[in-house]
Amino acid sequence: MAVAARLREHWWPASSTIQSRPLASRRDDVVTLLAGIWFVIGLFVDAWAHSNRPQLETFFTPWHAVFYSGFVATAGWVCWLVWRNILTGRRGIDAVPVGYGLTILALGVFLLSALADLIWHSVFGIEQSLAAVFSPSHLGLGASMLLILTSPLRSAWANPTMPAAPPLSRFLPAALSAGAAAGLFGLYLTFANAAGWSAESIVQAFSTIREGDGTTRTRAATLAGDIALTNAMLLAPMLLLARRWPIPPGTATAVYGVFGFLSCSVDAFEYPSTFAAIVLAGIAVDALVWWLRPSPGRRGRYWTFAALAALVTWSIYLAAASIAAGGLPDVVEYWTGMPVIAALHGLLLGVLFLPDTRHQPAAAH
């Protein structure tokens, strides 16, 4: 017991606090982000293979090689960050940069999930299409990847040297980190991701009130549901960032761009007009950021931004599909009303992220 206590005190000092831990530099966060992007691109390439290569029968594939080599690079870099601090005399949690504590935990979870994935494939074979999303081992990989990808965001969130109104150059790693996290959600919710629709399928879906067999569950209802869920995936990181900082213009382009790139890569960019629409929407939302300057201290502007960002995003999405397909959808109510519904959803998200607390009683201390 005495030996265990001495080891615990040596490697996990009782005096450890966030203030005593080192801060990751902007360069550190950028390298973490780049390694994580390699890592997540490997996952998306592997997801493409699960959907398009039904003859896969082994765990050892080129796509897994890209994926797991990205993990090795990411894990090696994070371990170097910790080892670098150990060389200066820090021990235990004091050697882990602020924002990277969950990253260390996630590396271990990932290794266990990778082992489980190998066993799962050996016993049950290679999953195809939607089954790959629901595989328990893949869910473990995704959860750990989410923690790893958001390391730069957590680092910026807890960094006391981050300016109150950061410039884009300083803020970009956090914004790209949030976008990559949204893209990861887009993969695991690929069955309801509006980025997976072609221009022609969007127009056709909103041109039909009932299917030929008379069913009430139409493609229009499916597309509307996909838009509603994707709306939340795009707005949530924006509203989270704006809840913490007055975000600089360029943030939305970064978030939307990474989300669109990752979501559309699953289909090998088969639908370029959809990808272009997402990127253009990000640029338009940045114009709203410049105009409204949403921030925690401006609740009305924050709520307005949440609603207008959704309205602009899905108006551009439907407009781009109509241009690429050569005509508007036949059902006017669908293509005029869907952006308004999305705006109401955005307003609801804005209220949830930044509720009006003026009339709530003060918390006891």
pLDDT for the residue numbered 132: 66
Distances (CA, A) of 235 to 178, 248, 250, 331: 11, 16, 15, 27
Please tell me whether residues 94 and 230 are part of one structural domain. Answer: no
Please tell me whether residues 340 and 274 are part of one structural domain. Answer: yes
Give me the amino acid identity at 88.
T
CB-based contacts of 8, cutoff 8 Å, min separation 6: none
- Give the tens place of pLDDT for each residue, 234-269: 999 999 999 999 999 999 999 999 999 988 877 778
Please tell me whether residues 83 and 145 are part of one structural domain. Answer: yes
Please tell me whether residues 40 and 143 are part of one structural domain. Answer: yes
pLDDT for the residue numbered 129: 61
- Average pLDDT of span 79-92: 91
74 in any annotated domain: yes
Please tell me whether residues 183 and 250 are part of one structural domain. Answer: yes
Residue 276 pLDDT exceeds 70: yes
Buried b (16+ CB within 10 A) or exposed e, 87-123: eeebebbbbbbbbbbbbbebbebbeebbebbeebbee
Residue 56 pLDDT exceeds 60: no
Q: Which residues pair with 295 in a beta bridge?
A: 298
252 in any annotated domain: yes
Please tell me whether residues 114 and 218 are part of one structural domain. Answer: no
Q: Which residue has the higher pLDDT, 4 or 77?
A: 77
162, 188, 217 - which closes a domain:
162
**Residues 101, 72: contact at Cβ < 8 Å?**
no
What is the distance between the terminal CA atoms of the chain, rounded to a whole angstrom? Answer: 38
41 in any annotated domain: yes
- Average pLDDT of span 39-55: 67
pLDDT for the residue numbered 363: 38
254 in any annotated domain: yes
200 in any annotated domain: yes
Please tell me whether residues 193 and 326 are part of one structural domain. Answer: yes
162, 178, 212 - which closes a domain:
162
**Residues 313, 231: contact at Cβ < 8 Å?**
yes
4 in any annotated domain: no
The CA distance from 348 to 309, in Å, is: 12
Please tell me whether residues 34 and 144 are part of one structural domain. Answer: yes
Residue 318 pLDDT exceeds 50: yes
- Give the tens place of pLDDT for each residue, 86-144: 999 888 888 999 999 999 999 999 999 889 877 876 776 666 666 667 778 888 888 99
Please tell me whether residues 173 and 148 are part of one structural domain. Answer: no
**CA angle 176-179-183, nearest 5°?**
135
pLDDT for the residue numbered 107: 94
361 in any annotated domain: no
- Give the tens place of pLDDT for each residue, 165-198: 999 999 999 999 999 999 999 888 888 999 999 9
pLDDT for the residue numbered 325: 96
Note the pTM of the prediction, 2 decimals. 0.86
- Average pLDDT of span 72-94: 91
Please tell me whether residues 168 and 154 are part of one structural domain. Answer: no
**Residues 241, 249: contact at Cβ < 8 Å?**
no
3 in any annotated domain: no
Please tell me whether residues 35 and 149 are part of one structural domain. Answer: yes
pLDDT for the residue numbered 7: 42
Structural domain total, the chain: 2
Q: What is the domain extent for residue 34?
A: 11-162
Please tell me whether residues 169 and 82 are part of one structural domain. Answer: no
130, 162, 194 - which closes a domain:
162
Residue 312 pLDDT exceeds 90: yes
The CA distance from 20 to 42, in Å, is: 36
